[in-house]
Amino acid sequence: EILDEQDMEDSAKEAADDEQNQVEPEQFDAKLQKGDESNSELQMAAPIDDLQKRDWHDYTAMERDAQRVGIGEQGKIAKLDDESVRENEQKVSIENGFNGLLSDSISVNRSLPDIRHIDCRKKLYLRKLPTVSVVIIFFDEYLSVLMRSVHSLINRSPPELLKEIILVDDFSDRAYLNKELEDYIVNHFAVGLVRVVRLPQRTGLIGARSAGARNATADVLIFLDSHVEANYNWLPPLLEPIAINKRAAVCPFIDVIDHSNFNYRAQDEGARGGFDWQFFYKRLPLLPEDLKHPTEPFKSPVMAGGLFAISAEFFWELGGYDEGLDIWGGEQYELSFKIWMCGGEMYDAPCSRVGHIYRGPRKSIPSPRKGDYLHKNYKRVAEVWMDEYKNYLYANGEGIYERVDAGDLTAQKAIRTKLKCKSFKWFMENVAFDLMKSYPPFDPPDYASGAIQNLGDQTKCVDTLGRSRHNRLGIYHCADDLVRPQRSQYWSLSWKRDLRLRRKKDCMDVQIWGENAPVWLWDCHGQQGNQYWYYDYQTKLIMHGKEGKRCMELLPSTEELVVNKCDVSNSYMRWSFGFVNK
């Protein structure tokens, strides 16, 4: 880090103001001296050009977009008014997992809301940025959605940076993706800008991306799903970290395009990427220093998978994707681990935003493979990269991993050795250092378990009364063994602080905050809130909610189980809990 960020921006702003973009040499001299003085010769020779920043916004296009009105414009909620198409709308939606018919009525050039952090609008980026090959893979994608993806890229990328868009067809079944797609491209895009690569058989998204990457000719590869929309000035923030460090991979913020109405919105304020021990992608909180600089790229342990930029050189240095990963899944972990462990870094860039259609309900499609490709993929990643941590994944797999064969891993292991990559332990301790706490591989012990016995009437215990979930709980004659009672009375106060039926996903749930609030048996959501409970083993109160002001109570007259304002003097509010883990 030679330069103070702010200094660099200030001088760059001045540079941008200057017609000829000439920077006064003294300005840089002063700052360069902050660097390694013993090496000032080299520092002075640092190409001044590379330090120049500029405003990359295309204001003409943005103003033009701001004027646009019509269905779905500005990313607003869209709707088809014609009742007669309703049936067809349903049919197309269920085939695609999004409202394709509605998409046909929205312009492929539609405008989007500029929902970036306000300071992103003023941000300048290096004048010299690498060129880009965008690789979009698709299998049976809906045509207007695919074309809107492409138009948005062309409309919102500086032409001098966007060298080509490569569409890789993963052997689609849909006929319109042949001639109709080719004709569209010929009629709408500059010659050679958009190319289609056709795979001779279904390869899956990993193989398709690799094929696209092999066809790419620019400095940087940007991989995208086939149902996205790039937002204003999305490209420079993705490229600058790579211009500075060619071993940086950068992800945009992924916004949500609603599958039913094409509304464009943020998913949250941003988060770091992680996973749990069933390999579900999870989000980790931003760090305090990330929050202090809301427009700066921040380090993220794992990418979501679909949308990211990486220099072609680094991608191939890493051996690309493991092409033994079939169809869908796991590749985001493989590449993320590889990037971090083998000398790279990964960032999320808040000022770069790309919308993605997260699919809604979709009719099930027959699997293109006989075996369980997903767990095979996961096992490949675990065997090659996760060292002893792979056992956490396997322990949560209910025996699946013992049954799948990962196949030949020689080539992947050889890459790890050749690049002298760090251990997975290093990754977990230095990059994903908070993951174990947020997503422990095994549930930590319960705070308490057993029967919940009322102290006002010691013959009575909380009981399901044989009812299933979505019913009120009641009370019943206590079991003889209060530590190991029968199933209808066997409760655990879990580490997530919900009160669940032992080994089940049914939790005590309170849905109103008024007087005599009934206690229900409901699906555990793990989000605390209205399922948060606290047992104070000294007062013997079972408190509901984080305020600790409302408590579980037995109403002796009606034998109902309710929640009311806590009162230690009321013995019907006090409970003994089978076994308490103090």
Gap between the Cα atoms of 301 and 282, Å rounded? 11
Under rule CB under 6 A, residue 235 binds ligand UD2: no
> In the structure encoding, which two tokens stand for residue 105, read together?
């009525």
Question: Which of residues 194 and 307 has its CB atom nearest to Mn ion in the complex?
Answer: 307
Which residue lies nearest ligand UD2, judged by its C-beta?
A: 305
Please choose, from the candidates 305, 303, 130, 135, the residue with its C-alpha nearest in 3D space to the C-alpha of residue 210. Answer: 135
Among 8, 150, 177, 205, binds ligand UD2 (CB under 6 A): 205
141 binds, among Mn ion, ligand UD2, none (CB under 5 to 8 A by kind): ligand UD2
Among 15, 92, 102, 137, binds ligand UD2 (CB under 6 A): 137
Question: Which of residues 358 and 579 has its CB atom nearest to Mn ion in the complex?
Answer: 358
Secondary structure tally for the chain: helices H, strands E: 20, 27
Under rule CB under 5 A, residue 225 binds Mn ion: yes
208 binds, among ligand UD2, Mn ion, none (CB under 5 to 8 A by kind): ligand UD2
Gap between the Cα atoms of 130 and 114, Å rounded? 25
Minimum distance from residue 169 beta carbon to ligand UD2 (Å)? 8
137 binds, among ligand UD2, Mn ion, none (CB under 5 to 8 A by kind): ligand UD2
| 526, burial (CB in 10 Å: exposed 0-12, middle 13-18, buried 19+) | middle
Under rule CB under 6 A, residue 305 binds ligand UD2: yes
Provide the phi-psi class of 271: left if phi over 0, else alpha when psi is between -120 and 50, else beta. Answer: beta
Question: Which of residues 304 and 312 has its CB atom nearest to ligand UD2 in the complex?
Answer: 304
Contact (Cβ atoms closer than 8 angstroms) between residue 451 and residue 578? yes
- Per DSSP, 574 falls in state B
Minimum distance from residue 439 beta carbon to Mn ion (Å)? 23
Question: Which of residues 12 and 153 has its CB atom nearest to ligand UD2 in the complex?
Answer: 153
Q: H or E segment at 89?
A: helix 86-96
Among 65, 73, 219, 225, binds ligand UD2 (CB under 6 A): 225
Per-position x/- string for 306-335, each x denoting binding to ligand UD2 as judged by CB under 6 A, each - no binding? xx-------------------xxx-xx---
Pairing label, strands 162-169, 194-198: parallel
**HEC secondary structure over 356-400:** EECCCCCCCCCCCCCCCHHHHHHHHHHHHHCHHHHHHHHHCCCCH
329 binds, among ligand UD2, Mn ion, none (CB under 5 to 8 A by kind): ligand UD2
Please choose, from the candidates 159, 140, 160, 76, the residue with its C-alpha nearest in 3D space to the C-alpha of residue 110. Answer: 76
> In the structure encoding, which two tokens stand for residue 157, read together?
């990328």
Question: Which of residues 225 and 446 has its CB atom nearest to Mn ion in the complex?
Answer: 225
274 binds, among Mn ion, ligand UD2, none (CB under 5 to 8 A by kind): none
Question: Which of residues 152 and 311 has its CB atom nearest to Mn ion in the complex?
Answer: 152
Is the torsion defined by CA of 493, 496, 500, 503 positive or negative?
Answer: negative
Question: Which of residues 369 and 418 has its CB atom nearest to ligand UD2 in the complex?
Answer: 369
- Which residues of 69-219 form beta strands (DSSP E)? 125-126, 132-138, 162-169, 194-198
Angle (CA) 446 447 450, round 5° = 75
Backbone angles phi, psi at 16, to 5 degrees: -65, -35
Under rule CB under 6 A, residue 304 binds ligand UD2: yes
Task: Pick the stretch among 138-146, 186-194, 450-458, 567-575 that binds ligand UD2 (CB under 6 A).
Answer: 138-146
Pairing label, strands 448-454, 575-580: antiparallel
> In the structure encoding, which two tokens stand for residue 113, read together?
């809301």
Which residue lies nearest Mn ion, judged by its C-beta?
A: 225
Question: Which of residues 256 and 400 has its CB atom nearest to ligand UD2 in the complex?
Answer: 256
Minimum distance from residue 25 beta carbon to ligand UD2 (Å)? 45
Provide the phi-psi class of 526: left if phi over 0, else alpha when psi is between -120 and 50, else beta. Answer: left
Minimum distance from residue 154 beta carbon to ligand UD2 (Å)? 18
Task: Pick the stretch among 302-310, 341-349, 487-495, 552-560 that binds ligand UD2 (CB under 6 A).
Answer: 302-310
> In the structure encoding, which two tokens stand for residue 229, read together?
């929309």
Among 144, 226, 494, 576, binds ligand UD2 (CB under 6 A): 226
322 binds, among Mn ion, ligand UD2, none (CB under 5 to 8 A by kind): none
Q: Which residues sit at the interface with Mn ion, rule CB under 5 A?
A: 225
Binding region for ligand UD2 (CB under 6 A): 137-139, 141, 170, 204-205, 208, 225-226, 254, 304-307, 327-329, 331-332, 356
